[in-house]
């Protein structure tokens, strides 16, 4: 299951809290390598589907959370190993353990692989093989498809790469039921279509950094205005995907109300960015708002799923 | 408050809403594809970043559509099994 959690990290990768002093102890660096702030959202999108899919024991939830954290943390560490050259160039990542010289690349790689290996064993042994397989798939997708291939070659890097971050709901679902169904696929797509508006809001704000690192983020390739329009279209699909499961009875009215209100706010924020740009006004404040609110949006949406289903049983 | 809404809607309305959802996603996906195809031959706005590869961009814009189609197929089956 862990891998599933790790995937969500693609976008988050650029958001790592890397500001640590030079005399940081090793334990703190190891925690920083896992990007704990980012993983917290992945854990929400893993745990909530467990309660939406069934009635898992507390023990199972705990195992999936630990395994998920280790898998995602391992993926984030390997990501820092692969991206060590551009981390040194970007202001936001310059203080990470490798570019700051506090850890060697080999140490970081070994730590990441060890975390992922242990997580795979743990999930397969204590939860089920499908959960472990999905988590590991997320790990590989994040490390090889997103970080190694897409990130430096395509403006759609975080679109397809976002699939890595969409594995956690599958992991949670598989852990609770031992299988996957159409609602699990819907949760995967929700995270998938949520990723572009979330991450492009940040990319719009960090264009100088990405340009310096030669990472072809959408605003640098398509331009700001086109990227904003793309955020709108991805949000439209996202909102439709969030309400559709209600039609066939997967979720109830509590979830529907949450999805409509939360989604409406997200769309309002995305349109505000576009409108500000079209009117020649500063759009950085609304872009920051979208970036931050979209994190809250996804967490609350998934919590609403779990609560809705738990109350209906 | 959290009762299933499928029990409150007639099959006709559910089906209509389903196709409305498909149509909205289809239109949005078309605009997404249009942007990708429109920018394919052009150089990046920022010359410091590498230009995207045409075939890779096309594959990447088509993959999510496959996911959407699979989901809509599953949702349609689920809708009619209620």
Give the number of other Cβ atoms within 10 Å of residue A130's Cβ: 20
Count of H helices and E strands in chain B? 2, 0
pLDDT of residue B48: 66
Give the number of other Cβ atoms within 10 Å of residue B20's Cβ: 11
Q: What is the pLDDT of residues A126-167, one digit of tens each?
A: 999 999 999 999 999 999 999 888 888 888 898 998 899 999
Tell whether A89 is within 8 A of chain B (Cβ). no
**Residue closest to A48 by CA, chosen among A296, A313, A246, A301:** A301
| Size of the A and B interface in Cβ pairs below 8 Å | 153
Chain A hits for B78, CB-CB cut-off 8 Å, are 182-183, 248-250
Of the candidates B32, B44, B74, the beta carbon closest to that of A220 is on B44
CATH number (domain holding residue A140): 1.10.357.140
Are A255 and A169 spatial neighbours (Cβ–Cβ below 8 Å)? no
Q: How many domains does chain A have?
A: 1
Task: Name the helix (H) or strand (E) containing A30.
Answer: helix A26-33
- Which residues does A8 contact at the CB level (< 8 Å), separation at least 6? A38, A41, A42, A45, A72, A138, A164, A165, A166, A167, A168, A191
Kindly indicate the confidence band of residue A119, based on its pLDDT and cuts at 50, 70 and 90.
very high
Kindly indicate the confidence band of residue A22, based on its pLDDT and cuts at 50, 70 and 90.
low
Tell whether B34 is within 8 A of chain A (Cβ). no
| pTM: predicted TM-score of the whole model, two decimal places | 0.89
Residue A189 has pLDDT above 90, yes or no: yes
Q: What is the pLDDT of residues A44-57, one digit of tens each?
A: 999 999 999 999 99
Residue A235 has pLDDT above 90, yes or no: yes
For residue A217, give the chain B residue with the closest CA: B49
Chain B hits for A86, CB-CB cut-off 8 Å, are none
Tell whether A247 is within 8 A of chain B (Cβ). yes
| End-to-end alpha carbon distance in chain B | 20
Domain region containing A138? 2-312
Q: What is the pLDDT of residues A69-93, one digit of tens each?
A: 999 999 999 999 998 888 888 777 8
Interface contact flag, A211 B49, Cβ < 8 Å: yes
* The two structure tokens encoding residue B74: 């599953």
Q: Which residue has the higher pLDDT, A65 or A26?
A: A65
Tell whether A310 is within 8 A of chain B (Cβ). no
Cα separation, A71 vs A132, in Å, equals: 10
Q: Which residue has the higher pLDDT, A135 or B2?
A: A135
Residue B35 has pLDDT above 90, yes or no: no
| End-to-end alpha carbon distance in chain A | 25
The answer for B 51-80 residues in CB contact with A (under 8 A) is 51-53, 56-57, 60-61, 63-64, 67-68, 70-71, 74-75, 77-79
pLDDT of residue B45: 64
**Residue closest to B35 by CA, chosen among A159, A233, A146:** A233
pLDDT of residue A5: 37
Q: So where are chain B's domains?
A: 10-79
CA of A44: how far to CAs of A166, A167, A184, A302, A303, in Å? Answer: 12, 12, 15, 7, 7
């Amino acid at each position: 299951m862990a891998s599933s959690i790790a995937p969500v990290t693609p976008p988050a990768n650029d958001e790592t809290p890397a500001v640590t002093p030079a005399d940081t102890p090793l334990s703190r660096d190891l925690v920083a390598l896992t990007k704990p702030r980012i993983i917290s959202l992945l854990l929400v999108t893993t745990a909530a589907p467990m309660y939406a899919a069934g009635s898992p024991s507390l023990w199972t939830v705990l195992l999936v959370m630990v395994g998920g954290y280790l898998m995602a943390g391992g993926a984030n560490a390997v990501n820092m190993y692969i991206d060590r050259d551009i981390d040194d160039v970007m202001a936001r990542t310059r203080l990470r353990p490798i570019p700051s010289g506090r850890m060697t690349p080999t140490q970081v790689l070994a730590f990441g692989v060890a975390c992922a290996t242990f997580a795979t064993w743990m999930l397969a042994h204590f939860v089920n093989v499908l959960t472990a397989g999905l988590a590991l798939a997320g790990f590989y997708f994040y490390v090889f498809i997103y970080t190694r291939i897409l990130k430096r070659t395509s403006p759609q890097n975080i679109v397809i790469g976002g699939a890595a971050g969409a594995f956690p709901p599958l992991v949670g679902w598989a852990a609770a039921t031992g299988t996957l169904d159409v609602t699990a696929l819907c949760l995967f797509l929700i995270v998938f279509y949520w990723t572009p508006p979330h991450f492009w809001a940040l990319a719009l704000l960090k264009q100088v950094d990405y340009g310096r690192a030669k990472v072809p983020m959408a605003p640098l390739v398509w331009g700001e205005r086109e990227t904003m329009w793309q955020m709108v279209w991805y949000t439209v699909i996202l909102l439709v995907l969030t309400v559709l499961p209600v039609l066939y009875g997967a979720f109830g009215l509590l979830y529907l109300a949450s999805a409509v209100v939360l989604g409406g706010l997200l769309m309002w924020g995305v349109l505000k960015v576009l409108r500000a740009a079209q009117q020649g006004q500063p759009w950085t404040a609304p872009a920051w708002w979208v970036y931050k609110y979209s994190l809250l949006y996804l967490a609350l949406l998934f919590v609403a799923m779990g609560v809705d289903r738990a109350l209906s049983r | 408050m959290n009762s299933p809404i499928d029990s409150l809607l007639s099959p006709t309305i559910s089906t209509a809403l389903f196709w409305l959802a498909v149509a909205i996603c289809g239109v949005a996906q078309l605009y997404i594809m249009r942007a990708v195809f429109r920018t394919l031959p052009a150089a990046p706005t920022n010359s410091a970043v590498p230009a995207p590869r045409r075939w890779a961009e096309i594959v990447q814009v088509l993959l999510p559509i496959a996911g959407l189609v699979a989901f809509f197929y599953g949702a349609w089956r689920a809708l009619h099994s209620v």
